[in-house]
Amino acid sequence: MTHKTPEELEEMRRPSVNTIDRISENEIIINGHLYEILQNYREAFDVEQLADRFVNLFSRYDYIVGDVESNQLRLKGFYKDQLEVRNELKISSFQDYLYEVCGFGSPYFVLQNKDINERARSRWLKEQEKNKQEKKGSEVRHKESVNKRKNEFVKSVNKGKRRTFKIREKRGQK
């Protein structure tokens, strides 16, 4: 069995389909969308790694946080605090994300999307609202306790050492 050298593995890696142009020290363009680098803790921002990991799905987020652990870049999208989304998707909770998911002191960067894909965002928000409505409608309602039910009675039946209960509807009032 022959092992490939790191150079051979690098050649086999899929080509990056994202284009990233650096306009200034704090501004970049990713696939035609303008982003501003708000934080770059411990020089985590690397254009090549970002080009490999970035997917167009991130264009709907207001902020993108990238953290590097074991030379692997992980990206997570966040929305601004004014939107009606779960708290863990708001930018105010990104410090919690760093504490809970990322290693202590690991390098990270924060990008702010200046050119948000509103169409993708609104589609996603509508899906979330629809899922929330479906979840509310499909909640299982618990039956009232047996004592409070009308037109039903409970009969206990002994089967050997087991005791089972049968709940039946009353047929008529006596």
- As a whole number, mean pLDDT of residues 131-145 equals 69
Give the pLDDT score at 148: 65
Structure tokens of 22? 């650096």
Domains by residue range for the chain, with CATH? 13-118 (3.50.4.20)
Buried b (16+ CB within 10 A) or exposed e, 51-84: bebbeeebbbbbbbbbbbeeeebebbbbbeeeee
Question: Nearest CA to 81 among 89, 72, 70?
Answer: 89
Name which residue leads in pLDDT, 111 or 166.
Answer: 111
Q: Give me the amino acid identity at 23.
A: I
**Span of 54-63, 104-113, 137-146 with lowest mean pLDDT:** 137-146
- As a whole number, mean pLDDT of residues 67-81 equals 94
Q: Quick check: pTM over 0.75?
A: no
Using CA atoms, how far apart are residues 55 and 33, in angstroms rounded to an integer? Answer: 12
Rg (CA), the chain: 28
Name which residue leads in pLDDT, 46 or 10.
Answer: 46
Q: Give me the amino acid identity at 97.
A: Y
